[in-house]
Chain A
């Protein structure tokens, strides 16, 4: 089953990381994602731009309301996600622990995917 691993952490603390700390985390995460790729389990992965760049459209009214900032003000913010193929919740938790050892702090919200549309695969990234 496909699971989403939603990555929550304190954005202010993350943005206080030094370049070296950031690079160290990315390297150790890379080791885990490489392994997942070899096992054929790694789906799309995304890292989000800080919530200060977020815009929210409230569609519970007509016309919808556009608000600056993330949907919810929380202590920890949604910073990105992984989609990973896991056999069971136990297996997913094991994978999450592995990812967590590579990138400590914050939390992963683990949610099975109800539907998954791969779309056109990887969109052209980084082009603005």
Chain B
């Protein structure tokens, strides 16, 4: 690698890593998102000029905050007095003041700064897709083009969406006072939900666009780790991070060569990402010690049981059933019960599982997975005609070509069996 290319690679990684915290600190200072973003941009430009010559600063985040702040202050003075400015090279060297600033920007400040920056992206007036787009643009610093590609929309449409979302939050009151304990917990919960939305936007994708959206999963995990470094004793943040790692670990095995869904029990488990599983299991272990259970921890614990089973037949379905029961208590929802029915089918057979999902027919009558599971259970019981009806409905409700193709395989099999028996 040439020196220049090497410089650009590490500077790029350092700027990406520093962005959320540096921008969050600048936002506290300016109390204006556009100004904070401009200041950060300007600081990055100076970093690209300055760092290859002088080497990386001891604390890149503090350097960027200090330079971003100075540049913006100079720009304000410049606008006020219309006086000539010293150019970037004659600015006082930031490194002299870096140590001093680094002390003032201690972890406690960073914590609330970053939380605020993430929290403003979760404004309740914003629909989920706008929250995600905003977080990716502002916090992660992805380009509009990258985000547009991930959402499979045109660049100008995405530009508009982000601009609208930004003006929405600019009109809202930004929470600049330091939060109390209860408020901090509420903000953390909202931010955790938003990060999981980002993850699912990548994880639930399938078909042609899937590969382009997978980076969203990595980005969500990066944000969660960042949050966890600052809130290191929060079991639900550990649980969320573990959940995403354990799910994402399966990505290499989730689709076959044709892009069709491969069910958990049919996946090649040797293709699962061991590093992610190791980290996920370590985190859920840590979280459980706190004995403050929450929905992310329970879901991560379920994912952990799947990850620990080297073969599908080794899966501890009894424990999974208990965990789903706990989840039903924490966050009652027909979808949770539907998932529990899979464990019940393994433990007590398809009859018991059918009885479990019977009451869900009304609330889930537009839900693909309800009819997919119902069809599969009926098929196991040999009630093929009813199974076909359920699968037909599932296909009509499929969210993607991959889902439809998966159901189509069942229908084809039933059709073959039907012909054979005649």
Contact = CB atoms under 8 A, between A and B. Distances in A.
Given A66-B289, A68-B286, A16 B278 contact: no
Contacts of A53: 279, 282-283, 286
A61 B371 CA distance: 58
B14 interface: yes
Nearest to A21: B9
Interface string A29-66: 00000000000000000000111110100000000001
Interface stretch (A7-15, A78-86, A87-95): A7-15
Given A13-B17, A16-B222, A128-B308, A50 B279 contact: yes
B16 interface: yes
A68 B297 CA distance: 16
B364 to A, nearest CB: 35
A61 B77 CA distance: 55
Contact of B17 (A12, A69, A128): A12
A75 interface: yes
Interface in A1-28: 10-17, 21, 24
B107 A73 contact: yes
B331 interface: no
B298 interface: no
B344 to A, nearest CB: 26
Interface of B: 1, 6, 9-10, 13-14, 16-18, 56, 58-60, 107, 222, 225-226, 228-229, 232-233, 238, 241, 274-275, 277-279, 281-283, 286, 289, 307-308
A52 B224 CA distance: 10
A50 B286 CA distance: 13
Contact of A75 (B59, B228, B308): B59
Closest 9 CB pairs of A and B: A69-B232, A53-B282, A12-B17, A13-B17, A16-B17, A16-B16, A52-B228, A68-B233, A68-B232
A105 to B, nearest CB: 5
Given A49-B282, A52-B238, A67-B233, 6 more contacts: A13-B17, A15-B17, A15-B225, A16-B17, A52-B232, A75-B58
Contacts of B241: 52
A128 B59 CA distance: 36
Contact of A128 (B9, B228, B281): B281
Contacts of A66: 289
A118 interface: no
B57 to A, nearest CB: 10
B17 to A, nearest CB: 4
A51 B14 contact: no
Given A52-B232, A75-B58, A10 B107 contact: no
Contact of B13 (A17, A51, A69): A17
Contacts of B228: 52
B341 to A, nearest CB: 28
Nearest to A69: B232
A49 B278 contact: yes
A52 B233 CA distance: 10
B283 A52 contact: yes
Contacts of B226: 12
Nearest to B280: A53
A52 B13 contact: no
10 contacts: A13-B14, A13-B16, A16-B13, A52-B228, A53-B279, A55-B286, A68-B238, A69-B229, A126-B274, A128-B281
A12 B282 contact: no
A120 to B, nearest CB: 20
A104 B278 contact: no
A121 to B, nearest CB: 20
